[in-house]
Chain A
Amino acid sequence: MTKKIKLSELGSLFGGLDIEALEGVKIEGDVELDLGQMGLNPQMAYALGHETAQMAFHLMNISRILGYPIDQMLGSPAQQKPVRPSKLIESKFGVARNEDWKTPIQEVVLGATSSDGGSRKSTVTLGGEVALPYYFDGPMPHRNHITMDVFDMPINMAKAVKSNYEDVINSPAEWAKKVVRDFGADMVTIHLISTDPNIKDTSPKEAAKTVEDVLQAVDVPIVIGGSGNPEKDPAVLEKAAEAAEGERCLLASASLNLDYARIAEAAKKYNHVVLSWTQLEINAQKELNRKLMKQCGVARENIIMDPTTAALGYGLDYAYTNMERIRLAGLSGDLELNFPMSSGTTNAWGARESWMVSSPLKEDTDWGPREYRGPIWEIVTGLTLSLAGNDLFMMMHPTAVQVLKEITQTLYGSKETEPVNIDDWVSAVV
């Protein structure tokens, strides 16, 4: 394919540009160049006259620099000899750090040791990032952490999860011990679901007792979760906060559809941290954070956000992008959004792919054993959100916890392993 263009056209094309190469060059008449013929062949160009040739070359170079599709106009280089350099062109690769990220994420400490008025052996610090997770732009001061779920009554669980907890299902304290001792949980979440009026309507006072038991049983920081009943939760969390005074627990959660002020008040009064929970809506998250700070007077170092986790295949795209946008906004200076984030990664178990024996659709390729599907669903859901900026993961399956720890700590940079040679992966026997 050979395209003919007129030199004068090319000239006028770049006429508005201040191009040195064009200065002093006079075009006499309308010389029509057949660029397809000429190509980059210097002899051919020479034959057309020195001046014109030089100009054509410059133009082509300029065009190329400007991104003009000179090569398309040149068409197929059939008549040309392919270029065959004898050695590689030397190059240096470089890329700049992201200059938009000037605002660090707020650091938040969970748990309090005896020197700080609590009884925890260790604390967990979240936040402090100055870039997207694991990026080279700046140091990530704290690794991701995992808090494992404990319930105050037996609940329905996927089979793969349940088999790990059958021996402790009636004792939140033993359950808590097990996740810390056997499964390496950094923290424990005690979900007071029995307080729901539609479940057991356990009184706030009784629920607070459960919290005390868990605090006795383990020495890691804890999260205190309500039942999710918006009428009951404030009272339950208030009592629990009181029972756990000074321990810097994470109170889950304050949200726009319940009396968040009461929860904020309890956190302030008994030295805890508030989990600010919204549903996949960045503006709602801003609004709630603002209310917690301005209206309720919660200090910045006492706020963590839960922007909602949807499972892989069930809205993870919204959850991922919502978190990524929140984190980018925070790093770029939005002081209503630069808080650490927490994910209810356990929601992955709501995906049918994680627990159903087989696909309900005949057209699907066999789903294989569900025992393997569940944990990886939890892992991939969590891992995806870790890349969006999530700091704390609420999880259930021990294998999922191990694998998520392994990959997040590898990307964080704390996993040392023997170097692997991948140069011959093509011929590896696997």
Chain B
Amino acid sequence: MKLNSPLQVYKYLPQINCAECGDATCMAFGAHLIDRSKKLEDCPPILKDKYKKKYIELQTLLAPEIRQVTIGVGENVKNIGGDDVIYRHQLTFFNPTAFAYDVWDTMPEQELIDRVNKISNFRKFYVGKFLKVDMVAIRCVSGDAMKFAGAVKKVAETTKLPIVLCSFDPVCLRAALEVVKERRPLVYAATEKNWSEVAELAQNYKVPVVLFSPDLDKLKSLAATFQEMGIKDLVLDPGTYPQGKQLKESFERFVKLRRAGIKEGQKDIAYPLMSIPLNAWLVYKDAVTASYWETVLASVFIVRYADIMILHSLEPYAMLPEVHLRDTIYTDPRTPVKVAPGVNEVGSPTKDSPVIITTNFALTYYTVESDLSSNKINCFLAAVDTDGIGVEAAVAGGQLTAAKIKDTFAKANFEIKEKTTHSTLILPGLAARLQGDVEDVTGLRVMIGPPDSGRIPGWMEKNWPPKQK
């Protein structure tokens, strides 16, 4: 965005401090616009006619450096791009890389349906939410427009996920667009050869379109030409070569484009970038090797600037690291590492429920909590203030000690001997070496839980309730 201080934003706001936005002052709201935690539309007054001019000006000035492009419609709509920084610690990255998994028009129908369902049903629970994948990319392998359109129709009937139409043949693309035009699919791709016809399609069907060229001069030419034609919802594919020097150069192109777009404000190429890790399959035929290498390529380009990518492997060992790495890179670094220390109830614990110790490192805490609640274990979960460090490291570094544990219960006014019938604490397996200390300091019985909270259910079956002494 073109503004970088709340004061600059303030000049354009109504300056009446009416607090309708939820902030006490326009200045405070301005700070939220700068860090992009609120939208201009959260200020009702500025939407009034009186402020229209300022609203439009501010809207432009606040627009992200990289254009945000919308794919799909309705509840599964996906935005890509929209970034303002080149390192996540400078603010945060927006719109996590969209993962489109491929199907192709020569697949037998049932296989196609099964594969699409597999894509749309994938989920991995993580810190209070499900990690999922986003789109289906349909590749035209047959070269037959009717066949392609048929496959696209089937996909559209099977899933609500946004669709990417992949073909370099404008005839095939047109046939497919006729079938799914109201779904606002992403069209892949215009090239040096077919650009004129594909541009016409983008104009007529009003859909976003990918421009493909590994030659950055040509890619920029394509982008400039499309812009001239009034087509603004563009995505750039600078080529993802799967190995050797070509891969190194691919990497450099992503870095160059993003730097030019954000740091140098080169509007002509300030569009979302697309990577094709699927190209790993062009060089590796063995499925495991290809899946591994595809995951490697995906990782490189998740970190360095791909806003959308097309993938092939549906193996869990490929998808799990991919969705986790995307979450890693796109998690807002401004959210705190720690949860508030204290003793919390999970489910509805009684006096017979176990008291489990963990740290206040947010990831540890939420992992343990979701393992407990998902397995319907009612208990008290104590988050010890370890400065947001995980169990193993905190034991090694002296942030998780017997004294700290005792202190946590004292500060929470949680008298274990009164609140429980068993006077027992359960330490994480990775903190086993503290057992003696904790027993001495608290005078309670101390049991050692499993090293991973995922194993608490099995551990409970064997060890809980504790045998009477």
Q: Do they bind each other?
A: yes
Q: Which residues of A contact B (CB under 8 A)?
A: 5, 9, 13, 67-69, 72-73, 77, 82-86, 88-96, 98, 134-136, 198, 228, 230, 255, 257, 279-280, 308, 310, 312-318, 320-321, 324-325, 328, 350, 352-353, 356, 359-369, 372-373, 375-377, 379-380, 383-384, 387, 403, 406-407, 410-413, 415-420, 422, 424-430
Q: Which residue of A lies closest to B132 (CB)?
A: A365
CA of A312 to CA of B88 in the docked complex: distance in angstroms? 17
Interface residue SS majority, chain A: loop
Q: Which residue of A lies closest to B371 (CB)?
A: A360
Q: Among the listed A90, A310, A413, A424, which residue makes an inter-chain contact with B245, where contact means beta carbons less than 8 Å apart?
A: A413
B143 at the interface (CB under 8 A from A): yes
B300 touches A387 (CB 8 A): yes
CA of A86 to CA of B396 in the docked complex: distance in angstroms? 69
B256 touches A136 (CB 8 A): yes
Q: Which residue of B lies closest to A375 (CB)?
A: B292
* Given known contacts A317-B331, A422-B240, A85 and B282 CB-to-CB distance under 8 angstroms: no
Q: Which residue of B lies closest to A324 (CB)?
A: B87
| Across-interface contacts of B393 in A (CB, < 8 A) | 279, 308
| Across-interface contacts of A317 in B (CB, < 8 A) | 327-329, 331, 333
CA of A367 to CA of B319 in the docked complex: distance in angstroms? 9
* Given known contacts A368-B316, A419-B244, A426-B139, A91 and B59 CB-to-CB distance under 8 angstroms: no
| Across-interface contacts of A379 in B (CB, < 8 A) | 292, 295-296, 299
Q: Among the listed A356, A387, A424, A426, which residue makes an inter-chain contact with B452, where contact means beta carbons less than 8 Å apart?
A: A356
* Given known contacts A67-B60, A383-B296, A95 and B397 CB-to-CB distance under 8 angstroms: no
CA of A331 to CA of B395 in the docked complex: distance in angstroms? 34
CA of A383 to CA of B298 in the docked complex: distance in angstroms? 11
Which B96-138 residues have a C-beta within 8 angstroms of A?
Answer: 106, 121-126, 130
B460 at the interface (CB under 8 A from A): no
| Across-interface contacts of A67 in B (CB, < 8 A) | 2, 60-61
| Across-interface contacts of B19 in A (CB, < 8 A) | none
- A-B CB contact pairs (8 Å), 23 listed: A93-B220, A134-B248, A134-B251, A228-B396, A313-B126, A316-B328, A320-B303, A325-B87, A352-B452, A359-B125, A361-B371, A363-B130, A376-B318, A379-B299, A411-B300, A417-B245, A425-B276, A426-B166, A427-B139, A427-B167, A428-B141, A429-B141, A430-B281
B56 touches A73 (CB 8 A): yes
B333 touches A321 (CB 8 A): yes
B398 touches A69 (CB 8 A): no
Task: Write the B361-376 contact mask toward A (1 if CB under 8 angstroms, else 0).
Answer: 1010001001100110
B143 touches A427 (CB 8 A): yes
Among the stretches B22-30, B36-44, B225-233, the one at the interface with A is B225-233
| Across-interface contacts of B241 in A (CB, < 8 A) | 420, 422
CA of A154 to CA of B332 in the docked complex: distance in angstroms? 40
CA of A59 to CA of B295 in the docked complex: distance in angstroms? 50
Q: Which residue of A lies closest to B295 (CB)?
A: A376
B217 touches A92 (CB 8 A): yes
Give the one of B300, B433, B455 with max A CB within 10 A: B300
| Across-interface contacts of A417 in B (CB, < 8 A) | 243-246
B423 at the interface (CB under 8 A from A): no
Task: Write the B184-217 contact mask toward A (1 if CB under 8 angstroms, else 0).
Answer: 0000100010011000100100000000001011
B255 at the interface (CB under 8 A from A): yes
Closest 6 CB pairs of A and B: A417-B244, A368-B316, A360-B454, A372-B317, A430-B281, A93-B216
Q: Among the listed B123, B221, B329, which residue makes an inter-chain contact with A364, where contact means beta carbons less than 8 Å apart?
A: B123
CA of A318 to CA of B393 in the docked complex: distance in angstroms? 14
* Given known contacts A68-B60, A373-B320, A364 and B124 CB-to-CB distance under 8 angstroms: yes
B139 touches A72 (CB 8 A): no
CA of A90 to CA of B192 in the docked complex: distance in angstroms? 12
Measured CB to CB, the closest approach of chain B to A73, in angstroms, equals 7
B295 touches A313 (CB 8 A): no
Q: Among the listed B56, B125, B247, B279, which residue makes an inter-chain contact with A425, where contact means beta carbons less than 8 Å apart?
A: B279
| Across-interface contacts of A83 in B (CB, < 8 A) | 228-230
A89 touches B228 (CB 8 A): yes
CA of A51 to CA of B392 in the docked complex: distance in angstroms? 76
CA of A347 to CA of B358 in the docked complex: distance in angstroms? 19
| Across-interface contacts of A86 in B (CB, < 8 A) | 196
CA of A92 to CA of B396 in the docked complex: distance in angstroms? 55
Q: Among the listed A88, A279, A364, A422, which residue makes an inter-chain contact with B239, where contact means beta carbons less than 8 Å apart?
A: A422
Which B300-340 residues have a C-beta within 8 angstroms of A?
Answer: 300, 303-304, 312, 315-321, 324-325, 327-329, 331, 333, 337
CA of A328 to CA of B88 in the docked complex: distance in angstroms? 12
Number of chain B residues whose Cβ lies closer than 8 Å to a Cβ of chain A: 117
Measured CB to CB, the closest approach of chain B to A382, in angstroms, equals 10
A376 touches B317 (CB 8 A): yes
Measured CB to CB, the closest approach of chain A to B175, in angstroms, equals 15
B242 at the interface (CB under 8 A from A): yes
A314 touches B363 (CB 8 A): yes
| Across-interface contacts of A88 in B (CB, < 8 A) | 192, 195, 218, 221-222, 224-225
CA of A364 to CA of B140 in the docked complex: distance in angstroms? 32
Known contacts A82-B203, A91-B224; 15 additional CB pairs below 8 A are A85-B225, A93-B256, A136-B255, A314-B367, A318-B337, A324-B87, A353-B320, A360-B374, A361-B125, A361-B374, A368-B317, A383-B300, A387-B300, A420-B241, A429-B141
B317 touches A373 (CB 8 A): yes
CA of A92 to CA of B218 in the docked complex: distance in angstroms? 8
Q: Which residue of B lies closest to A428 (CB)?
A: B282
A135 touches B371 (CB 8 A): no
Give the one of A9, A366, A412, A415 with max B CB within 10 A: A415
B324 touches A313 (CB 8 A): yes
| Across-interface contacts of B469 in A (CB, < 8 A) | none
Measured CB to CB, the closest approach of chain B to A96, in angstroms, equals 7
| Across-interface contacts of A316 in B (CB, < 8 A) | 325, 328
Q: Which residue of B lies closest to A196 (CB)?
A: B433
A279 touches B312 (CB 8 A): no
Q: Among the listed A92, A367, A372, A410, which residue makes an inter-chain contact with B247, where contact means beta carbons less than 8 Å apart?
A: A410
* Given known contacts A69-B59, A72-B56, A320-B328, A328 and B87 CB-to-CB distance under 8 angstroms: yes
* Given known contacts A426-B139, A429-B141, A415 and B243 CB-to-CB distance under 8 angstroms: yes
| Across-interface contacts of A373 in B (CB, < 8 A) | 316-317, 320
Measured CB to CB, the closest approach of chain A to B70, in angstroms, equals 16
Q: Which residue of A lies closest to B105 (CB)?
A: A427
| Across-interface contacts of B454 in A (CB, < 8 A) | 352, 356, 360
* Given known contacts A257-B398, A317-B329, A365 and B122 CB-to-CB distance under 8 angstroms: yes
| Across-interface contacts of B87 in A (CB, < 8 A) | 321, 324-325, 328
Q: Which residue of B lies closest to A40 (CB)?
A: B230
* Given known contacts A228-B396, A360-B454, A430-B312, A384 and B141 CB-to-CB distance under 8 angstroms: no
CA of A86 to CA of B17 in the docked complex: distance in angstroms? 53
| Across-interface contacts of B319 in A (CB, < 8 A) | 365
| Across-interface contacts of A257 in B (CB, < 8 A) | 397-398
| Across-interface contacts of B223 in A (CB, < 8 A) | 91
* Given known contacts A383-B299, A407-B300, A426-B168, A90 and B230 CB-to-CB distance under 8 angstroms: no
B229 touches A82 (CB 8 A): yes
